[in-house]
A and B are shown apart, each in its own frame.
Chain A
Amino acid sequence: MSIVTVQLGQCGNQIGFEVFDALLRDSHSFQGLCSKRENEAYQTSCKERFFSEEESGVPIARAVLVDMEPKVINQTLSKAAQSGRWKYGQHACFCQKQGSGNNWAYGYSVHGPRHEESIMNLIQKEVEKCDSFSGFFIIMSMAGGTGSGLGAFVTQNLQDQYPNSLKMNQIIWPYGTGEVIVQNYNSVLTLSHLYRSSDALLVHENDAVHKICAKLMNIKQISFSDINQVLAHQLGSVFQPTYSAESSFHYRRNPLGDLMEHLVPHPEFKMLSVRNIPHMSEDSLAYSTFTWAGLLKHLRQMLISNAKMEEGIDWQVRPPLSGLPPLGKMSLSKDLHFNTSIANLVILRGKDVQSADVEGFKDPALYTSWLEPVHAFNVWKTQRAFSKYEKSAVLVSNSQFLVKPLDMIVKKAWNMFASKAYIHQYTKCGIEEEDFLDSFTLLEQVIASYCNL
């Protein structure tokens, strides 16, 4: 089943390009350490999911590119075409001349309604190209104007127009210190609106990915290109084909649906995050070997201690002893120690994957009490390796990972809101103070729910 990606704004389009590039490179440039037949099945599945065919044989990404000013889309289109391996559809872009000016209200209330028809038509065309349609990826940032505001508007429209299809928003969480001054306002408005219309929010934090580039990849001068490539790698390791549960010879048909089913049991809890292991520069990779036991042990501890990557993990954190009630409700004022999960999905790819032991993730102490561990935890194992990694593991988690960052953003936004700074920029486009208040209320509720797990 196919997934259609909607890339919005500068961030969405820059990342979207890296994602498609990474997916195709993995599927075509690496042998995957498996049989030829298996590899071919993998390639076919990847292609069907993310690309469509054209007479010339060059795969075309199943994507719609949207931006309110032309520079980034032009760049993205030419980069894809230059690679020679794939490209974007000729008429898959929607572009205007003047951007949203980092104004969520402008993206949502002005650009949205004005261009609704054109954008939805483009998406419709892309969906019609799919033989069997699974759902949408929407790639957007929260800090700017187009990705955040127009992204929220488009997601709402997708909800109305395709009520039976799944929508997963890939959200880029901005750096804590300054990218955009009004980023906290834009983020609060985006999250509150997406919470009502999206099915799942897969969050990627710039700060976390930046650290991966610095500490694990050893990149000296980190560019956005580097950051986007790490992100693309993470997404690829989740969404590249995996074996279905029934049989090891068929690739899973509907990963989006299966993932949502496993990870989002309740609509109040839709914030997901990704952790992958190992992650390193190509040079180091040549000299490293891994065992499944080692990888999984680290991954489990990353989950429990809320670590963003495999370096600097706090090994002191332990789950509460089973049989005893959890160690009190989580308090934001103290350092979060133990990260309680609602549901987890681990995806393993590579050599000897069947021998990997994931019992550690089934410990009931890791989870809230409402789901049995057998339902709360799932593992997908695939022989075919991903990218250049002989063994790789990725964890998609619905847990308390994002509570602290979310709380920070809400606090800062509230602080600014209390002084009414910048509000005139939003009210002149139709977003009133009430809309802000509603958004704050919704997010406070989400934070409280996650805290009380």
Chain B
Amino acid sequence: MTQSVVVQVGQCGNQIGCCFWDLALREHAAVNQKGIYDEAISSFFRNVDTRVVGDGGSISKGKICSLKARAVLIDMEEGVVNEILQGPLRDVFDMNQLITDISGSGNNWAVGHKVFGSLYQDQLLEKLRKSAEHCDCLQCFFIIHSMGGGTGSGLGTFLLKMLEDEFPEVYRFVTSIYPSCEDDVITSPYNSILAMKELNEHADCVLPIDNQSLFDIISKIDLMVNSGKLGTTVKPKSLVTSSSGALKKCHKKPFDAMNNIVANLLLNLTSSARFEGSLNMDLNEISMNLVPFPQLHYLVSSLTPLYTLADVNIPPRRLDQMFSDAFSKDHQLLQADPKHSLYLACALMVRGNVQISDLRRNIERLKPSLQFVSWNQEGWKTSLCSIPPVGHSHSLLALANNTCVKPTFMELKERFMRLYKKKLLFSLVTLLDIPIPHVLEQAVHFVACTRHFFFQVFQ
């Protein structure tokens, strides 16, 4: 089995990353009753004997001694990472796998990418190489960051190029948090567009997510929990946003629930690679099936069910409902409506007690209402994993390579153009001899190119 390394960059990236590790531990604790270090756990964790001085000798078999996350934490200010290291998860992280600075990137892509990029290049390379050495067979880097800020956006994308050069055979999956319309960071359109160019050229697969969608999902769940329809309450552990059973008890931070959704996305994405099932889907199959042309690698994701009811007699219709929900606008993690746009490809990753006939029945049922591109009329990739997520009996992750990402990108470009036309805030970006018109125009050009490409492909 293969291993993956999570690289969490910037405030957003690290906060989501922290939730991810918390939930990953919870999931493995629930599945692995005997406490033996097995291949499933090894995909994200190392088993380390902390009594040995220094790195801690790695133990490959036998009882779990001390688990260390295969993670590299990067932030150009200390606050978030320090908080993680003082929290309940401090033992899970390897002290040697951190890179922090004090001043932060000031929400400036150029600072993150150019200044800190060159400053920390060697250190970054060293930490990444170390984490790769700890792996028997490294398959994938998961990069988590936001697009609107400075560190996550700038340094995060600087990393991508580095990973491509240093580890060309290893997949680069990027989870990118795009800025919402009401984003209060003024430079976010600049940062996002500049980052987009890098994503386009150096990422294998991008999962765009935005805060507004996450927030809407939380509101929906809260409504359900609080409405308390007669006899139906929600099982506490079964919320996509819940941390119950995890190490972090305090749920007070506003973003925690939202971050848990993203964390669950990553867990479900990798479940079929880590756990057994009747139709496995490895990470390299995601890229193979969902990326028909190298640059069209943006996948809109949706997770269902968001919660499970505590009713004992859940009617079988619930299963079909799960499939229908996966295609509804409300369940997408991006402000997008795939059902009313064109699909290039779609993947359905099912977990739990669901069999091939259930899957086929639902595909047959939903197909007529969905539009697929002419050369991929049956563009479905499916997988069945036997192990359900914690608190659920089954779950579905849908990944869509769909033209519904266009509005998001176009809108970002519009916001960018509004700033650019008025030459606003140029000084921030001209800081470092970046030939502004050139770079920014390139980024704009890229967005236009993508649109043109879509258009061309569907003639």
Chain A contacts to B: CB under 8 angstroms: 10, 14, 69-72, 75, 97-103, 145, 175-182, 210, 213-214, 219-225, 227, 412, 415-416, 418-422, 424-425
B101 within 8 A of A: no
**Least distance between A433 CB and chain B CB atoms (Å):** 15
Bound CA–CA A10/B289 (angstroms): 17
Please name all residues of chain A whose beta carbon is closer than 8 Å to the beta carbon of B457 when the two chains form the complex. Answer: 419
Please name all residues of chain B whose beta carbon is closer than 8 Å to the beta carbon of A176 when the two chains form the complex. Answer: 378
Bound CA–CA A97/B39 (angstroms): 10
Bound CA–CA A68/B452 (angstroms): 39
Q: Is the CB of B355 within 8 A of A178?
A: no
Q: Is the CB of A98 within 8 A of B282?
A: yes
Please name all residues of chain B whose beta carbon is closer than 8 Å to the beta carbon of A225 when the two chains form the complex. Answer: 278
Q: Which listed residue (B2, B139, B355) contacts A222, Cβ 8 A?
A: B355
B280 within 8 A of A: yes
Q: Is the CB of A101 within 8 A of B364?
A: no
Bound CA–CA A98/B136 (angstroms): 11
Q: Which listed residue (A182, A415, A419) contacts B288, Cβ 8 A?
A: A182
5 residue pairs bridging A and B, Cβ less than 8 Å apart: A69-B282, A102-B285, A179-B382, A224-B278, A416-B376
CB within 8 Å for A223 and B284 given contacts A178-B379, A178-B380, A179-B382: no
Most buried by A among B374, B376, B382: B376
Q: Is the CB of B375 within 8 A of A415?
A: yes
Q: Is the CB of A222 within 8 A of B357?
A: yes
Nearest 9 Cβ contacts at the A-B interface: A178-B380, A101-B284, A222-B357, A421-B292, A97-B137, A223-B355, A224-B278, A181-B289, A419-B375
Please name all residues of chain A whose beta carbon is closer than 8 Å to the beta carbon of B35 when the two chains form the complex. Answer: none
**Least distance between B41 CB and chain A CB atoms (Å):** 14
B381 within 8 A of A: yes
Most buried by B among A69, A176, A181, A223: A181
Q: Is the CB of A412 within 8 A of B292?
A: no
- Chain B residue nearest to A144 (CB atoms) is B285
- Chain A residue nearest to B40 (CB atoms) is A71
- Chain B residue nearest to A181 (CB atoms) is B289
**Least distance between A115 CB and chain B CB atoms (Å):** 14
Q: Which listed residue (A180, A214, A421) contacts B357, Cβ 8 A?
A: A214
Q: Is the CB of A178 within 8 A of B382?
A: yes
Bound CA–CA A179/B379 (angstroms): 9
Q: Is the CB of B360 within 8 A of A418?
A: no
Known: A103-B288, A181-B376. 7 other contacts (CB 8 A): A69-B280, A99-B284, A100-B284, A178-B363, A179-B382, A182-B289, A424-B293
**Least distance between B136 CB and chain A CB atoms (Å):** 7
Bound CA–CA A275/B376 (angstroms): 31
Please name all residues of chain B whose beta carbon is closer than 8 Å to the beta carbon of A75 when the two chains form the complex. Answer: 276
Which chain B residues in 336-368 approach chain A with CB under 8 Å?
345, 355-358, 360, 363-364, 367
**Least distance between B453 CB and chain A CB atoms (Å):** 12
Q: Is the CB of B137 within 8 A of A416?
A: no
Q: Which listed residue (B136, B278, B284, B375) contacts A421, Cβ 8 A?
A: B375
B residues contacting the other copy or chain, number (CB 8 A): 41
Please name all residues of chain A whose beta carbon is closer than 8 Å to the beta carbon of B1 when the two chains form the complex. Answer: 69-71, 97
Bound CA–CA A227/B376 (angstroms): 26
- Chain A residue nearest to B3 (CB atoms) is A97
B287 within 8 A of A: yes
Please name all residues of chain B whose beta carbon is closer than 8 Å to the beta carbon of A182 when the two chains form the complex. Answer: 288-289
Q: Is the CB of A210 within 8 A of B360?
A: yes
Please name all residues of chain A whose beta carbon is closer than 8 Å to the beta carbon of B364 when the two chains form the complex. Answer: 177
Q: Is the CB of A210 within 8 A of B357?
A: yes
Please name all residues of chain B whose beta carbon is closer than 8 Å to the beta carbon of A412 when the two chains form the complex. Answer: 377-378
Bound CA–CA A180/B345 (angstroms): 10
Please name all residues of chain B whose beta carbon is closer than 8 Å to the beta carbon of A415 when the two chains form the complex. Answer: 374-375
Please name all residues of chain B whose beta carbon is closer than 8 Å to the beta carbon of A181 when the two chains form the complex. Answer: 289-290, 345, 376, 379-381
**Least distance between A100 CB and chain B CB atoms (Å):** 8
**Least distance between A150 CB and chain B CB atoms (Å):** 15
Q: Which listed residue (A14, A101, A424) contacts B294, Cβ 8 A?
A: A424
B31 within 8 A of A: no
Q: Which listed residue (A70, A99, A177) contacts B367, Cβ 8 A?
A: A177
B429 within 8 A of A: no
- Chain A residue nearest to B279 (CB atoms) is A224
**Least distance between B287 CB and chain A CB atoms (Å):** 7
**Least distance between A104 CB and chain B CB atoms (Å):** 10
Q: Which listed residue (A14, A72, A97, A177) contacts B360, Cβ 8 A?
A: A177
Q: Is the CB of A425 within 8 A of B356?
A: no
- Chain A residue nearest to B364 (CB atoms) is A177
- Chain A residue nearest to B296 (CB atoms) is A421
Q: Is the CB of A178 within 8 A of B378?
A: yes
Bound CA–CA A177/B1 (angstroms): 29
**Least distance between B388 CB and chain A CB atoms (Å):** 15
Please name all residues of chain A whose beta carbon is closer than 8 Å to the beta carbon of B360 when the two chains form the complex. Answer: 175, 177, 210
Bound CA–CA A418/B278 (angstroms): 33
Q: Is the CB of B285 within 8 A of A101?
A: yes
Q: Is the CB of A224 within 8 A of B356?
A: yes
Q: Is the CB of A422 within 8 A of B292?
A: yes
Please name all residues of chain A whose beta carbon is closer than 8 Å to the beta carbon of B39 when the two chains form the complex. Answer: 70-71
Q: Is the CB of A101 within 8 A of B287?
A: yes
Please name all residues of chain A whose beta carbon is closer than 8 Å to the beta carbon of B357 when the two chains form the complex. Answer: 210, 213-214, 219-223
Please name all residues of chain A whose beta carbon is closer than 8 Å to the beta carbon of B139 when the two chains form the complex. Answer: 98
Q: Is the CB of A71 within 8 A of B276?
A: yes
Q: Is the CB of B280 within 8 A of A71?
A: yes
Please name all residues of chain A whose beta carbon is closer than 8 Å to the beta carbon of B136 when the two chains form the complex. Answer: 97
Bound CA–CA A225/B355 (angstroms): 10
- Chain B residue nearest to A184 (CB atoms) is B378
Please name all residues of chain B whose beta carbon is closer than 8 Å to the beta carbon of A424 when the two chains form the complex. Answer: 293-294
Please name all residues of chain A whose beta carbon is closer than 8 Å to the beta carbon of B279 when the two chains form the complex. Answer: 10, 179, 224
Q: Is the CB of A180 within 8 A of B367?
A: no
**Least distance between A79 CB and chain B CB atoms (Å):** 11
**Least distance between A420 CB and chain B CB atoms (Å):** 8
Bound CA–CA A227/B360 (angstroms): 14
Please name all residues of chain A whose beta carbon is closer than 8 Å to the beta carbon of B290 when the two chains form the complex. Answer: 181
- Chain A residue nearest to B319 (CB atoms) is A221
Please name all residues of chain B whose beta carbon is closer than 8 Å to the beta carbon of A219 when the two chains form the complex. Answer: 357
Q: Is the CB of B293 within 8 A of A177?
A: no
**Least distance between B385 CB and chain A CB atoms (Å):** 10
Please name all residues of chain A whose beta carbon is closer than 8 Å to the beta carbon of B282 when the two chains form the complex. Answer: 69, 98-99, 101
Please name all residues of chain A whose beta carbon is closer than 8 Å to the beta carbon of B355 when the two chains form the complex. Answer: 221-224
**Least distance between B172 CB and chain A CB atoms (Å):** 15
Most buried by A among B279, B288, B294, B379: B288
Q: Is the CB of A421 within 8 A of B356?
A: no
**Least distance between A263 CB and chain B CB atoms (Å):** 31
Bound CA–CA A419/B373 (angstroms): 11
Please name all residues of chain B whose beta carbon is closer than 8 Å to the beta carbon of A70 when the two chains form the complex. Answer: 1, 39
Q: Which listed residue (A10, A223, A419, A421) contacts B280, Cβ 8 A?
A: A10
Most buried by A among B136, B360, B364, B382: B360
**Least distance between B283 CB and chain A CB atoms (Å):** 8
**Least distance between B313 CB and chain A CB atoms (Å):** 17
